[in-house]
Chains A and B, each alone.
Chain A
Amino acid sequence: MSPTQWDFPVELCCRPMAFVTLTGLDVVYNAVHRAVWDAFCANRRADRVPISFKVLPGDHEYPKCRPKRTSYEWYIPKGILKTGWMNKHLNLVPALVVVFYELDWDEPQWKEKQSECATRVEIVRQSLQGRNTKVAVVLIQKKTPLPPGEDVMASERAAALCHACELSGKSLFVLPHTDHLVGYIIRLENAFYEHAQTYYYTEIRRVKSHKEFLNKTTHQLLFVRHQFKIAFFSELKQDTQNALKNYRTAYNLVHELRAHETNILEIKTIAGFINYKICRLCFQHNTPLDAIAQFRKHIDFCKKKIGSAELSFEHAAWMSKQFQAFGDLFDEAIKLGLTAIQTQNPGFYYQQAAYYAQERKQLAKTLCNHEASVMYPNPDPLETQTGVLDFYGQRSWRQGILSFDLSDPEKEKVGILAIQLKERNVVHSEMIITLLSNAVAQFKKYKCPRMKSHLMVQMGEEYYYAKDYTKALKLLDYVMCDYRSEGWWTLLTSILTTALKCSYLMAQLKDYITYSLELLGRASTLKDDQKSRIEKNLINVLMNESPDPEPDCDILAVKTAQKLWADRISLAGSNIFTIGVQDFVPFVQCKAKFHAPSFHVDVPIQFDIYLKADCPHPIRFSKLCVSFNNQEYNQFCVIEEASKASEVLENLTQGKMCLVPGKTRKLLFKFVAKTEDVGKKIEITSVDLALGNEMGRCVVLNWQGGGGDAASSQEALQAARSFKRRPKLPDSEVHWDSITIQASTMIISRVPNISVHLRHEPPALTNEMYCLVVTVQSHEKTQIRDVKLTAGLKPGQDANLTQKTHVTLHGTELCDESYPALLTDIPVGDLHPGEQLEKMLYVRCGTVGSRMFLVYVSYLINTAVEEKEIVCKCHKDETVTIETVFPFDVAVQFVSTKFEHLERVYADIPFLLMTDVLSASPWALTIVSSELQLAPSMTTVDQLESQVDNVVLQTGESASECFCLRCPSLGNVEGGVATGHYIISWKRTSAMENIPIISTVITLPHVIVEAIPLHVNADLPSFGRVRESLPVRYHLQNKTDLVQDVEISVEPSDAFMFSGLKQIRLRILPGTEQEMLYNFYPLMAGYQQLPSLSINLLRFPNFTNQLLRRFIPTSIFVKSLQSNDTSIAILHSHV
């Protein structure tokens, strides 16, 4: 019995192909023959016909054909299927024998050659006697044949050769050995294929013809056998549809067989074969669901057909094989393009195969546990004469016996014993692991991570049983985290238990400790007695002793392990193990919490480390140290207790180093921060808790940050969600869940004890030196040193503000661009307790808008913290927002000499510029002086004296000035002519003497200048008097370069009589002036219309009287006659 007894035979698993033998080829010494053979063998791809070729000598002996049975009446079959049958038809009995013979049509010794060829054919026929095997002849020729019909000799000789060899014309072929060998070969093999198919067709007919002789009672086995043969021949014929049909029939017939303990193995074996064929063909036909359905049916049929109870492991082995084979077929089909899904993939079949392999192992363990004294029977009942069985699935010691009664119970017993003893040597674990790893590969492909993990656990456990602890541990360790992260504690505990056993058996210290730590922890679902045992072992290990063996371990392995542990003890050094806890759930929990999110540098920093043990017995740790991002603090936060190794267990409940299960232990730490760390964050980077001591072994549990392990984040979430009221605890105790980790804190500066006041008069006025008075008063108990002031624009505002804001301490001079926006660290000196100082600050703001100003006072003070003298730097800042506004609004307008608003001015004609300064400041302003700076294009008519010197303006008051100007020529500039600047020098009325005067420059608007052809101005007194002559002189100036014709007329008025030219036409030369004199004689008093002067320029029709009105008065005030004013009387007398 080979260990591969359960494997399907090769001839079952291969794809059956027509078997054709080639004779007469000397492939060793003849190069031409070699080339022909190579052409047959090489490149047999899917497009070539499915034939398996074999070269055999011409006199090869084919298997003898048994004489034909004429009647089945007395024939009783001895089994279902002979073991040699499939191989016989695949590899021994050909469908066609081809005789190769070198012969050209023009062969001179034709007769001799022809008879030699006939002899060769005859020899082949002889050895195939009784079979339907076809024979064909291929003539290897050197010459290329002529087209059919042209070579008369060839057709004659071909006919003769066929006759001599008793061949039909269809079985004679010519193979010219020329360039196109492969092409000829392909045509040849297609012809061979047809012959082979005919052969298999006749074989099928032959088998079918037996059917009528069979009867249902004695020939049940033959029904199956024949059906199987028909199906197999159909496969050889490549008729897979019929093959499938016949296999299905055969399968049903197998289950109709009468099953008994003696033949159940044979039935299952054949059923398994046929099922394999059916599934294979279904996959080949791309009907995978049929394959799956067939397989399910097969398994349901056979599951319960266990057979002999003493050999029940055989059934498990058979089941395992069925699943594995189906898995292989499924996988094969997927490789050829089938798509599988998550819930239907080969993995499930491999998994089930592994399950049956495990069952086989279990059964073998119970059934094959014979004493060592039980000897393997001699003679070997499993030996047969030929070394192989005659029929598939029969027992070697009773082959061919169909009776259900055991003729020789003793022989049966010996046979069973032999099988059982053989089974004992089978390495089950190896098979199981192979199957499991096949399944793992599949489930990985089909997105089943949990299934994969589960199978890996099983693999690990199997390795454990196979005593390969290293591999077991590797696998278990790999999957543990999956179960841990999903919180499946029961499963995790089970895996950890196995892992602990592995690490014990290998005496792997660190692993042993790690697994113990977790098995004692809250994630473990072990019972307390188990936990107690593990804790005791852990303490033993820490005291450099051997732990007790884990339960249920192999006794031999335990012996080895105990030696290993003993060796470990003698080894000194490297007994400190640091274990990071963030990836698992140890039995000690840790949380670090700073008392506050920030501490002033002058108070000690305090934090608590909370520890809680989940193990069943109190445990003492030897050292606790806390590490910070600034390592200088590490030294202050260490708790260590010098204790002897023996004390680990003693006085357990006392001392702060002792953790009582379930109780939260709080450890307070305190240290003073360095003054350099002000403004920095202090962070706990890790907490190290040491168990055991360096004398024995020491485990350092390392928590990253402020504690927490693999399970704590979920727990914290759950605790946060909870709205349960926690039961009251004594004051000294706290609820573990209520503690939140606070792993970092800020160091902030000492609280200042000074006051900073700002005094000023908002708003600030543009460009003024705005005064800000800063008062600093110390309320400290001791002297403060090195008081420094930083003041100015608060950084972080609009960058433009920085450009337009300047700060200085000296108000007596105007500051310019070079002054900064922020004055830093102005030393102010020291201050005694209660003392106060004042500092003036001047700010000049160039633009309007609001600005934030910062006043920051820093100082040094000596203070004591925890009896430690430190120098603290304190600071206090004040910010103030100051609005900047324009001090006044300046309005400018152009008016004519008659104070009429002018849109534009006329060249060389005087006009007035009026300025109006309106105070917008809430504080009184003093206008120190004003100045008009004219542009070169403007000239003044009279003196430019300021009319508003030293005027004080209250809010809303305004000051106006008026200047008479003339623009000599018209600038032909677009947009007008520049007027100049108006400069106002001013200051706050309240400002001190030494505060500089601010000059505000206002750019005056441009004015449009137009030319005028004729300027008329009138010379007349300021008023008239009734019946007194009123002389009026009109000056007409020609402003052009042309001689102008002017028509002048004066319209009479009711209020005046007048003398002078009433209507005249005259010429005025360029640049000259004509004077017109009129004497008006007022008739009525009051405001009277003057006789209107009307001028018509012939060259300038646009020059209208309307325009004229701008320059000359149209009315005059006439005083009445009754006046006793002497001057009037004198005038009167003149008239």
Chain B
Amino acid sequence: MAVCVAVIAKENYPLYIRSTPTENELKFHYMVHTSLDVVDEKISAMGKALVDQRELYLGLLYPTEDYKVYGYVTNSKVKFVMVVDSSNTALRDNEIRSMFRKLHNSYTDVMCNPFYNPGDRIQSRFVCLGRAFDNMVTSMMIPVC
């Protein structure tokens, strides 16, 4: 499934990045960071479209030789970025969408947690806080491990 999942704050700093442990972590960090160029552009293109009609799913951000990078932006401008192996043709747009929706739900749970301070990095070491989110992300990345 996904090889890298990232949550980016409104101010574009990372709140959470998880990538497959087998590969160079830095590479995915760069990939997620560069994908923000496209996210920014897409958000500014959306402009002042009616908030309730806005599509949160941004679709394929950009293809690289080996990976596909997908994006999703919440109404509060928190971005989700997901990197998928290019060779994984089984993943359709609909699956990606539903994965993002799952991610969004989990993120909402984190936000609802009274012990979470919005804008802080999501860390799995806080048991009740990041652990559930982390587990969900792990479930999205399972077949790789």
Contacts and interface: CB of A to CB of B under 8 A. Distances in A.
B62 A348 contact: yes
B13 A450 contact: no
Nearest to B60: A343
A115 interface: no
A721 interface: yes
A439 to B, nearest CB: 12
Given A447-B37, A450-B34, A718-B119, A487 B26 contact: no
**Which bracket fits the contact residues of B?**
20 to 34
Contacts of B29: 488, 490-491
Interface string B51-69: 0000000000110110000
Interface residues of A, number: 27
A718 B120 contact: yes
Contacts of A348: 62, 64
Nearest to A344: B62
A1002 B65 CA distance: 101
Interface string A461-491: 0000000000000000000000100111011
A1044 interface: no
Contact of B33 (A343, A355, A454, A723): A454
A494 B25 CA distance: 11
A327 to B, nearest CB: 13
Given A348-B62, A487-B13, A342 B41 contact: yes
A741 to B, nearest CB: 20
Interface in B80-135: 115, 117-120
Contacts of A491: 26, 29-30, 33
A1022 interface: no
Nearest to B12: A486
A494 B29 CA distance: 11
A870 interface: no
Main secondary structure of the interface of B (DSSP, over half): mixed
A447 B38 CA distance: 9
Contacts of B38: 342-343, 448
Interface in A537-574: none
Contact of B117 (A352, A494, A714, A722): A722
B117 A718 contact: yes
Interface in A683-735: 714, 717-718, 721-724
Nearest to A457: B30
Contacts of B17: 490
B61 A721 contact: no
- Which residue, of A447, A490, A722, has the highest number of chain B Cβ atoms within 10 A? A490
A215 B11 CA distance: 66
A723 B119 CA distance: 12
B26 A451 contact: no
Contacts of A145: none
B37 A450 contact: yes
B11 A487 contact: yes
Nearest to B36: A450
A723 to B, nearest CB: 7
A533 to B, nearest CB: 20
B30 A343 contact: no
Nearest to B15: A487
Contacts of A490: 14, 17, 25-26, 29
Interface in B1-46: 11-14, 17, 25-26, 29-30, 33-34, 36-38, 41
A494 B14 CA distance: 16
A449 interface: yes
Interface in A146-203: none
A362 to B, nearest CB: 13
Contacts of A342: 37-38, 41
Going nearest first, the 4 A-B pairs with the smallest beta carbon separation are A487-B13, A448-B37, A451-B34, A722-B117
Given A450-B36, A483-B33, A486-B11, 13 more contacts: A343-B38, A343-B61, A448-B38, A450-B37, A451-B34, A454-B33, A487-B14, A488-B13, A490-B25, A491-B30, A717-B119, A724-B115, A724-B117
